[in-house]
Structures are given as C-alpha cells and as structure tokens.
Chain A
Amino acid sequence: MLHIEKVAAAYGDVQALWDVSLDVQVNEIVVLIGPNGAGKTTLMRTIAGLHRPRSGRILFEGTALHTVAAHQIVERGIILVPEGRRLFEGMTVLENLQLGAYTRRAKQQRDKTLRHVLDIFPLLAERRHDRASSLSGGQQQMLAIGRALMGLPRLLMLDEPSLGLAPLIVRHIFEIVKSIKEEGVTVLLVEQNARRALELAHRAYILEQGRIVGTGSGSDLLHNDEVREAYLGYAPVTARTLT
C-alpha cells in the first residue's frame, strides 16, 4: 500500500534521514520505534507532504506522493495525527471535527462520519460546543484522532499519540487504534511506548540516527535481546547511550 524507497531528508544542512526504506501492507498495523531525535517525526512529516525528501521515492498504491502537496495527500486518504496534536485550539470541538472532513471526498459523508466518530468518542459529543483548548490532554488526543478519522483515512499515521498521557488513557487510546484497524484502516504508528506498540504491531521498524536498523514482526522484536535491551527497559544503561 505504502512503499518508501531510499528516502533522504534534511533540515538545511542537517540531514535527518538516510536511505530509509519501508513498506506498509493493506490493513496491518506497522510500528516505528526509535530513540528521540532518530528522525521518526521527520519521516512522518515527509510522508504527509509537510517536508520534501531530498532524494528517494514515496509511493502510495503505485502513485508518487513525494511531489504532491500535503492537502492532496489527505485527499488520497493518508492522514497524519501530528506530534503534539496540533488542534485548532481557538475553535470548538465540533469545528475541529468538521475541518477534519474538508476534502471533497470526506465532505460528502461528513454528517455520517461525524455520527460515527462521536460514537467512538462519546466524550467529544458531550463537549462539542466547547473550545478545543478547554479539553484535557487525553480528550485533546481523542479529538486529534477524531479529526483525522473525519477525513476518512485509508492509511492513518499517528505520531506519538501517548505522549504525556496517563497510563489508563494510553491503554484506551491503543484500544481505539486497534478498533480503527479492525474497521479496515491501515495504521502506521510512531511510539516511544515500545512495549505496548510492539504488542499491537503486525510488523515494526527500528529507526536510529536517521537509518532503519532493524525490522521484523511485532512479536519477534518483542523477544529480540537487543531490542529488549534498548527499548524495553531491561538494561537502562545501554539505552541511555543510544539516545
């Protein structure tokens, strides 16, 4: 479905990605883990069209994405829930959701999708006329996911959805991600919370210092010694040297 081939990206003189190749198949959950500053967010932004790759190709169902504007990528069904949620905080919950369905494709079914999203997140229905800035952190993350769902994603990309949230809420969000996948949406997930993410993943990639350094099925990586050492907290000393 998504095919990334030897992508390199840079901010000015600072190169952030080298020769990154990655594949996502239809209706799987693919997880990307790696230490801070490894380039995970850059990769997500590059796929979403907010950042142009310096070289390499990104194909979605065979057509090129890396030459297309971000809003057109959304139109094709690839939607990113960005790091830090990036809600329209001065606007109401409902307005945020409506804006999520701005593309022509999504607008036609906006009311139907809205009912569906509010079913998934009943809390948002209660607070639909409140400003997004008045929501708690967990609610804001749900709104961010809800806004993305309003755009009828075929590939949903989530960048650190659990960041800064309480464990109970994190569990809830992971359950929602799983149910989204069961509705037929393909998921590409970036997570710091590697254990939980790998438990959910069909396959995973490890990104370090801008390069893919490992890949495998979720359960393989979960039991891989190096991964356990580096990302699952079995040997904190080594983990620190990696970041």
Chain B
Amino acid sequence: MMRRIVMRRIGMRDVAMTSPAALTRSRAWRGPVLMAGVIALAALVPVLIDKQDTLNLLFLICLHITLGQSWNILAGFAGQTSLGHAAFFGIGALVTRTLWLNGMFFPVAFLLSGLAAVAFAMLIGVPTFRLRGAYFAIGTLGIAEVLRITVSQNLPLISTMPAAEIAAYNLTLRYYVALALALTTIGAAALLLRSSWSLGILAVREDEEAAQATGVNVLGHKLLALFISSFFAGLAGGLFAFQQISYYPSAAFSPVWTFDALLITFIGGLGTIGGPVLGAIFFILVRQRLAVTLVEVHQIVFGILFILIVLVFPGGLMGAWDRLRPRAIAEALRSRRQLHKS
C-alpha cells in the first residue's frame, strides 16, 4: 500500500519500476505464457491469413513498436525528450538502402543501419547532453532538420528498387524481419530495466542533480540510453528502407517519424515496456481505420488525445488500466491533489 502511494507520487512512469517486483508475485506465470501465446500467434499470421492488407498492417505495427520503444528508451527511461529521433531513423534507412541496393548482403546492410545510427549518436551525444530538458529537445530537433535538409539537397531523386527486386518482393519475409526486430527491441528495453544500469538511468530521469550528487555517472547513463535508443531507431530505418518500393531519401528524415514515436509512446504509456507496444497497435489501427473515411481527422484525434494524456492522464493507456480500478482512482486523486498543493 505504502509502496503504491510512493510510486504514484513519483508520477507517471512508475509502471516500469514496479514490473520487476510484480514478477515475483504469484501470478507471475501469466505474463510469460500470455507473451509466448501472442508471439506464436504473430509468427503464425502469414500461415493463417493470406491477406496482404493484414500483413502490411502488422508490418507497420511492428515497425512502429520498434520506433516507439527505441524513443521510449531514451525519453521514457532516461528522461531525455529528444525531438531528433528522425535523424537516427533516416540514417539507418539511408545506409541500408544504399548498401543493399548496391549489392551488399541484406542482413549485413541491415545491421550496419543500426551501427551507423550509433556512430552518429556518438558524434552528437556529448555536446547535446550539455543541454537540459526543453533545450535538449529543440537542439536535437535542429540537428535532425539539418540532416533532413542536407539529404534532400544532395539526394533529390526518388529511390526505387530494381525491377528484379520488385518482381521478387516478399512481404512475408519483411513481416518476419519486422516482428523479430520489434521483439528484440522490446526484449532489449526489458533487459535494460532489469540490468544494473537501470537504477542509474531512472535516477537520471527523476532528478539529475540528485543522481549526480549520489555518485551516478549521469553523462554515462544518458549516453548508454542514447546508444541503445539510436541503435534500434537506425534498425527501424533500415527496415523501412527494406520495405519501401520507392521513396524520397529525405522522407526517412522527416520529423513525422519523431512525432509518431512521441505519440505512440505517450498514448501507450511513457517509460513503460508495454506502452509503446499498446500505443503502436492503437496508433496504426486508428490511423488505418480513420484514414479511409476521414482523411485528416485521425491526426486531430491524436493531437487532442495527446494533450489530454500530457495534462490529465500522464500514464497513457497503461496508466488508464490502473486507474480503472476504484482504489487506484482514489489514490491518483489524492496524489494529484497533493501535487497541486506543492
């Protein structure tokens, strides 16, 4: 009980912190079994359903889970709200596309997308982490825009797969790559939270000065989160490059990728493992559903939802689950009232 209240007061991102403890409870077996079931089902989809639409939808969900989760590692766990996520995604796409279409074995080209993004993260990490909070956000946004403009100036032409590749286009293969990537990213995020670094990373998020004062290597932990985050963002970009038949290279650097990652993570629940997963499913399904009938309305809906989440339901969908129980509502109200008084 006490623990709950304390966790509530820490705020919106407590769910990630409770999960290791939750596993030790008696219902712990449910999680893994459920997860295994979902994974098996997801793996069997191409066998069970022979509809390209559905497969494409599932591909997009996996891509966006990776995108959201990778952003979540940096912003949700380490508290560094980056608005430059598109830079990593774009670099990954550019590297994989270029190498792959020039004949490199795809798995190698794919892996290099992640590594290239990490290399870029190494370049910008130390200087940008001198910036705090909102300044970090606008600084990273600036960097991503510099890249986007530079790429669109130098690579103005659309990139299209060779005819032979299009003829042999295999969506099922791409879906499996996406599924594997999404699962790896989720696994990496979960491992990170169970690792010895998690305490330091979460401490940096909660209070940087206090973390520094207690001897946490603040910069080191931020960089670690950034490298992991950029690695998977780069791979997501690589996956995008593998899937798209033709696109403008600068499209992969569009700030929309950052914004989608932000929406997905906030809608699902910032700083939680399940958040970006739920968020991506919700995001893609709603987008797909509304895009048919009401073209721009889904973005307006997401915008309103997003503002409401930031202002009123900081837990997102994951938090809403907790709040639905009466006791949790009472506690949340209490802690809100106290927050307002302070």
A and B touch in the complex (CB under 8 A): yes
Taking beta carbons and an 8 Å cutoff, which residues of A are in contact with B? 10-13, 52, 54
Taking beta carbons and an 8 Å cutoff, which residues of B are in contact with A? 9, 338-342
Residue of A nearest to B6 (CB): A13
Tell me what chain A mostly uses at the interface: helix, strand, loop, or mixed.
loop
Chain A residues positioned under 8 Å from B341 (CB to CB): 10, 52, 54
Q: In the assembly, what is the distance between CA of A11 and CA of B341, in Å? A: 8
Chain A residues positioned under 8 Å from B342 (CB to CB): 10-12
Chain B residues positioned under 8 Å from A11 (CB to CB): 342
13 sampled A-B residue pairs with Cβ under 8 A: A10-B338, A10-B341, A10-B342, A11-B342, A12-B9, A12-B338, A12-B339, A12-B342, A13-B9, A13-B338, A52-B340, A52-B341, A54-B341
Tell me how far the C-beta of B335 lies from the nearest C-beta in chain A, rounded to whole angstroms: 10
Q: In the assembly, what is the distance between CA of A127 and CA of B158, in Å? A: 68
Q: In the assembly, what is the distance between CA of A11 and CA of B338, in Å? A: 9
Tell me how far the C-beta of A197 lies from the nearest C-beta in chain B, rounded to whole angstroms: 30
7 smallest CB-CB distances across A and B, nearest first, come from: A12-B342, A52-B341, A11-B342, A54-B341, A10-B341, A12-B338, A13-B9
Given contacts A10-B338, A12-B9, A13-B9, 4 further A-B contacts (CB under 8 A): A11-B342, A12-B338, A13-B338, A52-B341
Tell me how far the C-beta of B108 lies from the nearest C-beta in chain A, rounded to whole angstroms: 53
Q: What's the A-B contact tally at a CB cutoff of 8 Å?
A: 13
Chain B residues positioned under 8 Å from A12 (CB to CB): 9, 338-339, 342
Q: In the assembly, what is the distance between CA of A13 and CA of B340, in Å? A: 12
Chain A residues positioned under 8 Å from B338 (CB to CB): 10, 12-13
Residue of A nearest to B5 (CB): A13
Tell me how far the C-beta of B135 lies from the nearest C-beta in chain A, rounded to whole angstroms: 22
Q: In the assembly, what is the distance between CA of A37 and CA of B310, in Å? A: 35
Chain B residues positioned under 8 Å from A52 (CB to CB): 340-341
Residue of A nearest to B337 (CB): A54
Tell me how far the C-beta of A52 lies from the nearest C-beta in chain B, rounded to whole angstroms: 5
Q: In the assembly, what is the distance between CA of A52 and CA of B342, in Å? A: 8
Q: In the assembly, what is the distance between CA of A11 and CA of B9, in Å? A: 13
Residue of B nearest to A53 (CB): B341
Q: In the assembly, what is the distance between CA of A12 and CA of B338, in Å? A: 7
Residue of A nearest to B342 (CB): A12
Residue of A nearest to B341 (CB): A52
Q: In the assembly, what is the distance between CA of A71 and CA of B342, in Å? A: 19
Tell me how far the C-beta of A230 lies from the nearest C-beta in chain B, rounded to whole angstroms: 30
Chain A residues positioned under 8 Å from B339 (CB to CB): 12
Q: In the assembly, what is the distance between CA of A152 and CA of B183, in Å? A: 68
Q: In the assembly, what is the distance between CA of A10 and CA of B340, in Å? A: 11
Chain B residues positioned under 8 Å from A54 (CB to CB): 341
Residue of A nearest to B9 (CB): A13
Most buried by A among B9, B339, B341: B341
Residue of B nearest to A9 (CB): B341
Chain A residues positioned under 8 Å from B9 (CB to CB): 12-13
Chain B residues positioned under 8 Å from A13 (CB to CB): 9, 338
Q: In the assembly, what is the distance between CA of A222 and CA of B160, in Å? A: 90
Tell me how far the C-beta of A160 lies from the nearest C-beta in chain B, rounded to whole angstroms: 23
Q: In the assembly, what is the distance between CA of A12 and CA of B5, in Å? A: 13
Tell me how far the C-beta of A212 lies from the nearest C-beta in chain B, rounded to whole angstroms: 21
Residue of B nearest to A11 (CB): B342
Q: In the assembly, what is the distance between CA of A10 and CA of B9, in Å? A: 14
Chain B residues positioned under 8 Å from A10 (CB to CB): 338, 341-342
Q: In the assembly, what is the distance between CA of A52 and CA of B338, in Å? A: 10
